[in-house]
Each structure stands twice: as structure tokens, then as C-alpha cells.
Amino acid sequence: MQTHAFNRTPVEILRARVAQEIRTAILRGDLAPGSLVRQDELASQLGITRESIRQALQLLQREGLVEVQANHRARVAPVERQLIADLYGFREAVETTAVAALARIPDFDVGPLHDIIARGRTAVRQDDLPALIHLDLSFHTSLYEAAGNQVIVEVMRGQWSHIRRVMAMVLGRRVYREKVWDEHEQIVQAVRAGQVEAASAAAAQHIRAASTMLLTASADPAAADLTAEEPLP
């Protein structure tokens, strides 16, 4: 995180900005799940009081990104199996509905989705994990927005932080990266063909595959940290 001149900023804006700094560090993986948030160090780094850090952490606690203990110590919230199961079950219900709606649209323009897939495949070849995560989010967000259901867009936006963390876990496993874009391609092909059931089935299969992989790996006590990238074969 970069040092900023926050001292003269109004309290509410300051709290939001500090929360964003910490949120970004969590989503980027600089602060790993379960790690201690060193409040004195952050306060010194950002040039603000520890109280401002505590206020920001309260915001992040409400988002489920940190856990604040009774002694005011804070840790980055772990990505637990139940969260994975809940999130992917929710995504399956939402995304199958979204792609079914798109498949019903006559002559729906899948060009922007194909562009994202092409960029995603390039990012796989370049081993660019940040770009992969960004493009994966862009693909799914584009589905929600194109479906034209504002409720879906707003609800999924509220889950963005959790989705971003779990996508990083999925795409951190190199063996799954190309498969992700193959599955995206299957969804788009079904949408373009106007095949409602096939589009929904492809979306459901995509989400279940990622969920199964994560839940299986997290159940293995000998498995490597799911937030870390796998070594090259």
C-alpha cells in the first residue's frame, strides 16, 4: 500500500479511503486470509491515527473481509468451505437465470464476450494472474449487465469482494485456467445459438466445476494454500 496524505481529509471520507486501501490489499493477496492486520504499522504507513484504522476495520468487518476480536486485534477473514458453498450455490441460481435470459434475445451480440474470452486466453499464455482475475470478473459481470436485470446487477455487486477472493483461488491453480475460458466459450456458443437450456446447463456446469475443485482441495489438510499460485509443472 502507498502512503497518502490523509490527515486533513474529513472523517467519513478518510474512513472510506483507509478501508479501500486495506480492502485492496486483501483482494490483491498482500494480506492473506487468516493473517494479522498490523494496525500500528498501517497507521504509520498511511500517516494516520490507529483510531482511523480501527474505524476502517469496522467497515471491512461488516463486509466479511476482516474479523475484529475482543482485544481489538484484527485478522483477515478466512475463505471458509461454507462461504465457498454458499457463494457458488448463489451464483449458480443467478447466472443460469442470466444466461437463459440472454439466449432468449434474438440476435444477441456476443462480440464483447468473445473479446473478453480472447483476452483471457492471452492472459493464460502470459501467466498474468491479475489480468485473469479481472477478465473473469468482467466476463461474468457482462453477463449480469447484458441480461438487463438490475436486481441481479446490484446483488452481485454487493458480493464482489467475496467473488474476487474466490476467483483468485480458482485462477491461482494453473491447471484450471485454460478450462475456465473453454467453459466460458461453451456458455457463449449456447447463448448465440439461442439454446436456453444448453446455456443454463453450461453455466451451471462451469460454476459447479469450480465449486467442486475448491471444496475438494480445501477438504484436504495436506493441500497447499488455495490462495497461492501453484508452481509451474
What is the rounded distance in angstroms from the CA atom of residue 190 to the CA atom of residue 30?
38
Outline where 104-159 has alpha helix (H).
Answer: 111-125, 129-147, 150-158
pLDDT at 119: 97
Q: What is the pLDDT of residue 226?
A: 45
What are the tens digits of pLDDT across the range 76-127? 888 888 888 998 999 999 999 999 999 999 999 999 999 999 999 999 999 9
Asked whether the CA dihedral 23, 24, 28, 32 is positive or negative, the reply is negative
At 4, is the pLDDT very low, low, confident or very high (cuts 50, 70, 90)? Answer: low
80: three-class secondary structure by DSSP: coil
What are the structural domains of the chain? 11-76 (1.10.10.10), 81-219 (1.20.120.530)
Residue found by looking up cell 436456453 in the block: 196
pLDDT of residue 230: 42
- Measured in degrees and rounded to the nearest 5, phi and psi for residue 76 equal -70, 130
Average pLDDT (188-213) is 96
Beta strands in 97-161 (DSSP E): none
As a whole number of angstroms, the longest Cα–Cα distance in the chain is 59
For the chain, the first-to-last Cα distance in angstroms comes to 32
Give Cα 187 to chain centroid, integer Å. 20
Q: Residue 66 in 3-state DSSP?
A: strand
To the nearest 10°, the Cα dihedral for 213, 216, 221, 227? 20
What does pLDDT average to over the chain? 84
Q: Three-class SS of residue 153? A: helix
Contact 207, 180 (CB under 8 A): no
Reported as a single tens digit per residue, the pLDDT across 137-181 is 999 999 999 998 888 888 888 787 888 888 887 787 788 899 999
